Chain A
Amino acid sequence: MELINIFLKSAFIENLALSYFLGMCSFLAVSKSVKTASGLGLAVIFVLGITIPINWLIDHYLLSENGLFGMDLTFLRFILFIAVIASMVQLVEMVVEKVSPALYSALGIFLPLITVNCAILGGSLFMISKELNFSESLVFGLGGGFGWFLAIVAIAAIREKIRYSNVPAPLRGLGIAFIITGFMGMAFMALMGIDPAALVGK
Chain B
Amino acid sequence: MADSKTNAKLDLKPVFFGKKEKKLLLDPLNDNNPITVQVLGICSALAVTTLTTKALTMAVAVTLVVGFSNLITSLLRKLIPSEVRMIAQLIIIATLVTVVSLTLQAVNYPMYKELSVFIGLIITNCIVMGRLEAFAMANDPWRSFLDGIGNGLGYGVILLIIAALRELLGKGAIFGFKLFGPGPDFLVDTQAISMLHWYTPNNLMVLFPSAMFVLAVIIWLHRTWNSKLVDVS
Contacts and interface: CB of A to CB of B under 8 A. Distances in A.
Q: Indicate if A touches B (C-beta under 8 A).
A: yes
B209 A186 contact: yes
A122 B117 contact: yes
B194 interface: no
Contacts of A82: 90, 93-94, 123-124
B123 A172 contact: no
A58 interface: no
Interface string A158-190: 000000000011111111101101110110010
B203 interface: no
Q: Chain B CB within 10 Å — which of A77, A78, A86 has the most?
A: A78
Given A78-B97, A175-B219, A178-B212, A28 B42 contact: yes
B211 interface: yes
A174 B86 contact: no
Nearest to A177: B216
Contacts of B126: 25, 113, 116
B46 A24 contact: yes
Dominant secondary structure at the B interface: helix
Given A79-B98, A82-B123, A115-B86, A182 B219 contact: no
B162 to A, nearest CB: 11
Interface stretch (B4-12, B139-147, B223-231): B223-231
B39 interface: yes
B210 interface: yes
Interface stretch (A14-22, A38-46, A94-102): A14-22
Contact of A78 (B87, B94, B210, B221): B94
Contact of B124 (A19, A120, A174): A120
Interface in B116-163: 116-117, 120-121, 123-126, 129
Given A20-B47, A78-B120, A129-B117, A86 B90 contact: yes
B76 interface: no
Given A23-B43, A115-B90, A116-B129, A78 B123 contact: yes
Interface residues of A, number: 47
A114 to B, nearest CB: 10
Nearest to B215: A178
B123 A121 contact: yes
Which among B46, B117, B124, B230 has the highest number of chain A CB atoms within 10 Å?
A: B124
A181 B215 CA distance: 11
A126 interface: yes
B91 interface: yes
Contact of A170 (B93, B97, B224): B224
Contact of A182 (B117, B209, B220): B209
A25 B40 contact: yes
Interface string B18-61: 00000000000000000010011111101100000000000000
B77 to A, nearest CB: 19
A121 B216 contact: no
B39 A75 contact: no
Q: Which 7 A-B pairs have the closest CB atoms?
A: A182-B212, A173-B231, A170-B223, A185-B209, A118-B43, A178-B216, A24-B42
Given A117-B124, A172-B231, A176-B216, 17 more contacts: A22-B43, A29-B39, A75-B102, A112-B86, A118-B125, A121-B120, A121-B124, A122-B121, A169-B223, A170-B221, A170-B222, A171-B223, A175-B216, A175-B220, A179-B213, A182-B211, A182-B212
29 contacts: A19-B208, A20-B47, A21-B42, A21-B211, A22-B43, A22-B121, A25-B40, A28-B39, A28-B42, A76-B98, A78-B101, A82-B123, A86-B87, A116-B125, A121-B123, A121-B124, A122-B121, A125-B117, A169-B230, A170-B221, A170-B227, A171-B223, A172-B231, A174-B231, A178-B219, A182-B210, A182-B216, A185-B208, A185-B209
Interface of B: 36, 39-44, 46-47, 86-87, 90-91, 93-95, 97-98, 101-102, 116-117, 120-121, 123-126, 129, 207-213, 215-216, 219-224, 227, 230-231, 233
